Amino acid sequence: MTTPAEAVDRPDEHPADPDQPAAASLAARLVRVARPRQWTKNLLVLVAPGAAGVLLHWTVLWHAVAAAGIFCVAASGTYFFNDAIDAEADRHHPTKRLRPVAAGLVPVPTALGVGLAMMAVAVALAGLLAGWHLALVMAIYSLVNVSYSLGVRNEPVLDLAAVSAGFVLRAVAGGVATGIPLTNWFLIVASFGSLLIVTGKRSGEKQVLVDHRVDNGATRQTLGMYTPTFLRSVRTLSAAVSVTAYCLWAFDRAAQLHPGHDPIWFQLTVVPFTIALLHVVRLLDSGEGAAPEEMALRDHRLQAYGLVWVALFAAGVYVT
């Protein structure tokens, strides 16, 4: 079926206005294929320098923001490529049939060419920004998504790994672009946190298809292979490992920043982190995870937990 390794569109995909000029209409359709609403995921690039407490340093900040912008280009390129590959399958999906490529509003060759060009541009820009290391991260991200669209998505479990990799590579890119070393605990939290969100997406996608009375296997082969029990088990495992690794990271970080004097601010960040994670698990278990970016933008409880976490984290960095 049909999303690159991470996107599930919402029904913001309505037909173009026939009264618009042709050029403007095509531009609007291309923007819809690029999925700017999905760009909030690229804020994950800021996590590594933020966790290191150096995000507000000017050089670090502009490198991180630039890397996030490059990821927007690459991610949109994967959406173009995926929609071109899956145009026919998307026409049988209750919401994806409204995508511009599936609806015939953007030609398949155009989407394919634009997608490949955007991914190539992203790799080149990454090399200019931070050298071959960041270019390699962007190349791997593009390769994973292209492989996903070409067949990996039909392999159970591997498709979960491929989608999760997209999130993890964003976090890795933030460290590479800013020169911030990534700790083992950070990578574990990023990996299993991503797996939690991805399995929640699968549960949400299954629920959307049930609501529209569409056969799972007819739209995404692997959805029919995942039972609700399996997805719930993976979410439980991912949440447990994420909390454990985060606790170890927080205590280790406190010891690094305040050797011999521990004001416990970092340890306290475990509280909002765990509460927020449990809140997310509850939402995912109820089938509300098909579009995690919408959850982050609209769930005020989750935003409040995040603000508490930021305040405690800032205290851990700056309060002695």
Which of 116, 151, 182 corresponds to the end of one domain? 182
Distance CA 114, CA 35 (A): 14
Token match 């933020």: residue? 50
CB-based burial label for 177 (10 Å; 0-12, 13-18, 19+): buried
Q: How many domains does the chain have?
A: 2
Contact of 42 with 126, CB cutoff 8 Å? no
Query: If we measure between CA atoms, which residue out of 63, 68, 61 comes closest to residue 40?
Result: 68
Locate 115 and state its tokens.
């997608």
Res 275: pLDDT: 95
Q: Is residue 2 part of a domain?
A: no
Task: Say yes or no: 195 and 164 in one domain.
Answer: no
- The answer on 135 and 199 residing in a single domain is no
How far is it, in rounded angstroms, from Cα 300 to Cα 318?
27
Identify the domain boundary among 182, 204, 223. 182
44, 159: one domain: yes
**One domain, residues 206 and 228:** yes
For residue 67, count other CB atoms closer than 10 A to its CB: 28
| Amino acid 93: pLDDT | 66
Q: What is the pLDDT of residue 85?
A: 84
Strand boundaries in 164-320, DSSP class E? none
The pLDDT of residue 220 = 62
Supply the range of the domain harboring residue 301. Answer: 183-320
Q: Compute the half-sphere exposure of residue 102: CA atoms within 13 Å on the CB side of its CA.
A: 25
Give the chain's residues under pLDDT 70. Answer: 1-24, 90, 92-94, 210-221, 258-262, 290, 318-320
Q: Which one of 155, 182, 209 terminates a domain?
A: 182
For residue 159, what is the domain's CATH number?
Answer: 1.10.357.140
Question: Are residues 152 and 270 both part of a single domain?
Answer: no
**Residue 57: its pLDDT value, please?**
86
Same-domain status, 233 and 269:
yes
Whether residue 87 is found in the same domain as residue 216:
no
Q: Same structural domain for residues 113 and 173? A: yes
pLDDT value for 271: 95
Q: Are residues 308 and 197 in the same domain?
A: yes
Q: Specify whether 210 is located in the same domain as 124.
A: no
Question: Is residue 276 one of the residues assigned to a domain?
Answer: yes
Residues 155 and 197 occupy one common structural domain: no
Token duo for residue 186: 């950070």
Whole-structure pTM value: 0.81
